[in-house]
Amino acid sequence: MILVSPSLLASDFSNLEREMARMEQAGADWLHLDVMDGHFVPNLTFGAPVIKCLREKSGLVFDVHLMISDPLLYVDDFVDAGADILTFHLESGSDCEKTIQKIKSRGVKAGLSIKPDTPVEKLFPFASQLDMALIMTVEPGFGGQSFMPDMLSKVEKLREYCNHTGNTMNIQVDGGIAAPTAPLAVKAGADVLVAGSYVFGASDPAQAIQTLKQAGN
């Protein structure tokens, strides 16, 4: 089954409660929350206090994507705010093993992400501890960028590795996912699709989510 996680980054920030409800009604499986610190990536979004307020207004699974330096320092804040899945970057400067263990010790699912220039093999040593890997299909930092087809071979390699090792983690892709690119990502082995502009910009978001969910058919 393909899961769809609409990225709130593409929503109307003046009414996040309404935007979350719109996605829930449209059939979103998860809600993707992009946290950017203006240091790890050249953009700023929102942090744990905003997520805490959103948590009170939505029953969706909160799929929090930390694009921040030293995420280990902030794990408690984001868990306390209500994250269900906490994904950080391998390039973030924190010790990956310690950060994964910290997230899991708080009863939250742990995800590890790589930027386009990072080889997928760097994920392998951590794979057995992960609930999810996120292969970025654009440079992190901004919504609305073009999908990078070169990333598909990374998804394929990770899926092969998981099949060989009996690993059942989710493989998520994020960036430039829309009707033409979703089937490519799913064919390569992704099972969680993040989509910002495609879903939030659609005149019929329910239809857009269904299109993504059927990308494997």
Give the residue numbers marked as catalytic.
Answer: 34, 174
Least Å from the CB of residue 136 to ligand DX5: 7
| 175 near ligand DX5, judged by CB under 6 A | yes
**Which residue in this structure is represented by tokens 């960028």?**
145
CA distance 141 to 194: 14
Among 69, 118, 167, 197, binds ligand DX5 (CB under 6 A): 197
Measure Cα distances from 103 to 23, 48, 129 in Å.
26, 15, 11
CA distance 132 to 49: 24
Quickly count: other Cβ atoms within 10 Å of residue 151's Cβ.
Answer: 23
Tokens of 91: 């390039």
Among 49, 125, 144, 180, binds ligand DX5 (CB under 6 A): 144
Contact present, 189 and 170 (Cβ < 8 Å): no
Single out the segment in contact with Zn ion by CB under 5 A; choices: 32-40, 99-107, 112-120, 199-207.
32-40
Nearer to ligand DX5, 81 or 182 (CB): 182
Site for ligand DX5, residues 44 to 73, rule: CB under 6 A: 65
Single out the segment in contact with ligand DX5 by CB under 6 A; choices: 51-59, 73-81, 118-126, 190-198.
190-198
